[in-house]
Structure 1
Amino acid sequence: MSHAILLPERGVVEISGPDAISFLHNLVTNDIQSLAAGEARFAALLTPQGKILCDFLVFRRETTEGPLLLLDCPRSLAPELLQRLNRYRLRANATVADKSDAYESLAYIEEQTPQQENLLTLARDPRSPLMGWRAIAQRGTVDAPGDHASYDEHRISAGVPDGAVDFPYGDAYPHETNMDRLSGLDFKKGCYVGQEVVSRMQHRTVVRKRITPFRFDGETPPAAGSEVIAGEIKIGVTGSHWGKEGLALIRTDRLEDALAAGQKAQAAGVPLEFSVAKS
């Protein structure tokens, strides 16, 4: 039995027309040209300075009028994403529309392929095997009895940030949000907005700021947005949490220096234990 989880915080932007695929491919961080129906790509639209304006999952859907793209994005950012894509459209033969009122996003946290009717798209979540499947359907056509908390549990365990909570849109680089580790960056495709900055960061020895998992033992977790302190030095800020696990955007170099000096990290008085992967 497939248990869909409704993601009401997500919106959908549709791109259609003969140039839809090439138009988006030339703008975002991942390869859209090779995207096939039944697949999803994680990607982002960046500022020219290389910071994330909006991240999303991209699905390709085949129709009688040709392929179109569905972008599963934060619903609060859908109107702004629509405006920005239209600014770049110029002479491209493509139409961009906000379909958030007509479509809804669904997650399936399970290994087997969900057996559901009425889905417009269905694909493996490309960010992590722990994330299961993602789908888009006409609003109200799919029963979604699944628990959103189970989605957050898998997301946080997989180290997948939620941009609404875990990092600031417009002020975070893709590497800082682990897009390089979550299949969100293609370093072989051609130019796109912000590509030069992303390429420079890829070739650095160390990325100093990262979304980093933590564990805590207290009864009450630190609230999202709490300063993470090691000794007297601020090293980051907490984001989302579930159970005894959470994510924080931290300066990993400062954390490593603090640990080497025997100092412990804490936020809002709660001791935190970080798991830091090498960049």
Structure 2
Amino acid sequence: MPNTKYTKLPRGLVVISGSDSNTFLQGLISQNVNKVTQKKAAYSALLTPQGKFLHDFCISKIGNNLILDCEQGREEELISNISKFKLRAKVELKHEKELSVFSVFGDEASQSLHLSNILGASREIKNGIAFVDPRKIGLGCRIIAPESDTIELLEDLSIKEGTFIEYDTIRLSLCIPDGTKDLLVNKSVLLEANFDELHGIDWEKGCYIGQEVTARSKFRGLLKRRLVTVSYKGPSINSGTPILLNGKEVGTIKSSVDGLSLAMLRLDALEESGIANPLTSNGIVISRFKSFDK
């Protein structure tokens, strides 16, 4: 598979087990947990009652256990935030440290892992699971398993090791946020971060924490800013650097690689900017990147 590569991702894992796992999580997060099976993964978020971002994660299922593929370093915080609602539910939450997360990316990623080229398509593998990224096909696939088992599988499939920067460039080009690198805890809302387009919200499921505010922002069209990908010439711009239009601050640079960044930008500034009236950051002209849109 010459066009397919892999890299280990800096991710954390939380396992939810117990007979009430699905029912318990269903009332908390933005995704329909009942659609998650051994053959289907999903993307979701945990919000505050005011509809503000707390955590995002991919959800898969190994056996009867739900696996939350979350931001590294925030696993215990995620467990704490979920456990507040545990009450008498028959569930256990565990920070899983024996498994690792790998990305397999490239045009033939799903084919190389014998997966259907469908968002979230999953299959169990030795001591773990492989699935197509449930946000965008273009981001490839993920493997959650012990590192040694994953390396053995990838070598058997003749998939070569790539770099995290290669993976991250694809992520940025598809305008996919990476947790708190791109979102503000207790401040960001899901639609600002493209969760609708990334299939992170089930609009037909019942109530969950923050559901009312999320629905209102969609149906009333209340968004004033949005996460977009911007491109420019030169090295990466530091996260937090202001974006200016006509000398006024209209946004902020988020995560970056050389020549490409995510940016939280006011929608009116995007409309007003152009060749004769460019957006700038750190003195560099930036423009909206045309996504691969896969």
Do they fold alike, i.e. is TM over 0.5? yes
What is the CA distance between 1:195 and its match in structure 2?
A: 0.3
Instruction: Give the letter aligned to residue 263 of structure 1.
Output: N
- 1:36: which partner in 2? 37
Pairing partner for 1:147 from 151, 163, 187: 163
SS of equivalent residue, structure 2 residue 75? helix
Pairing partner for 1:6 from 8, 13, 22: 8
Instruction: Give the letter aligned to residue 67 of structure 2.
Output: L
Cα RMSD, aligned residues only: 2.1
Cα pair 2:173 2:289 within 8 Å, conserved:
no
- 2:261: which partner in 1? 246
After superposition, where does 1:1-279 map in structure 2 within 5 Å?
1=1, 3-7=5-9, 9-62=10-63, 67-99=64-96, 101-109=97-105, 110-114=109-113, 118-143=126-151, 145-205=161-221, 207-217=223-233, 219-259=234-274, 262-275=276-289
Determine the C-alpha separation between the residues in 1 that align with 2:36 and 2:89: 19
SS of equivalent residue, structure 2 residue 227? strand
Determine the C-alpha separation between the residues in 2 that align with 1:125 and 1:191: 25
State the 4+ residue runs in structure 1 displaced beyond 6 angstroms: none
Determine the C-alpha separation between the residues in 1 that align with 2:33 and 2:125: 26
Q: Which runs of 5+ in 2 are unaligned?
A: 115-123, 155-160
Cα pair 2:12 2:71 within 8 Å, conserved:
yes
TM-score by length of 2: 0.85
SS of equivalent residue, structure 1 residue 88? coil
Determine the C-alpha separation between the residues in 2 that align with 1:240 and 1:112: 30
What is the CA distance between 1:276 and its match in structure 2?
A: 8.7
Determine the C-alpha separation between the residues in 1 that align with 2:180 and 2:211: 23
Instruction: Give the letter aligned to residue 73 of structure 1.
Output: C
Cα pair 1:40 1:126 within 8 Å, conserved:
yes
Q: Residues 38 and 113 of structure 1: is their aligned pair in 2 closer, same or farther, counting only changes over 3 Å? A: farther
Instruction: Give the letter aligned to residue 211 of structure 2.
Output: Q
Instruction: Give the letter aligned to residue 126 of structure 2.
Output: N
Determine the C-alpha separation between the residues in 2 that align with 1:108 and 1:265: 35
Determine the C-alpha separation between the residues in 1 that align with 2:259 and 2:31: 33
Cα displacement string for residues 43-79 of structure 1 (whole angstroms, at most 9, x for unaligned residues): 00000010110000000122xxxx1100000011111
What is the CA distance between 1:212 and its match in structure 2?
A: 0.6
What is the CA distance between 1:37 and its match in structure 2?
A: 0.8
What is the CA distance between 1:137 and its match in structure 2?
A: 0.8
Determine the C-alpha separation between the residues in 1 that align with 2:143 and 2:15: 14
What is the CA distance between 1:5 and its match in structure 2?
A: 1.4
SS of equivalent residue, structure 2 residue 35? coil
What is the CA distance between 1:186 and its match in structure 2?
A: 0.6
Aligned positions, number: 269
SS of equivalent residue, structure 1 residue 141? helix
What is the CA distance between 1:134 and its match in structure 2?
A: 1.2
Q: Residues 119 and 159 of structure 1: is their aligned pair in 2 closer, same or farther, counting only changes over 3 Å? A: farther
Q: Which runs of 5+ in 1 are unaligned?
A: none
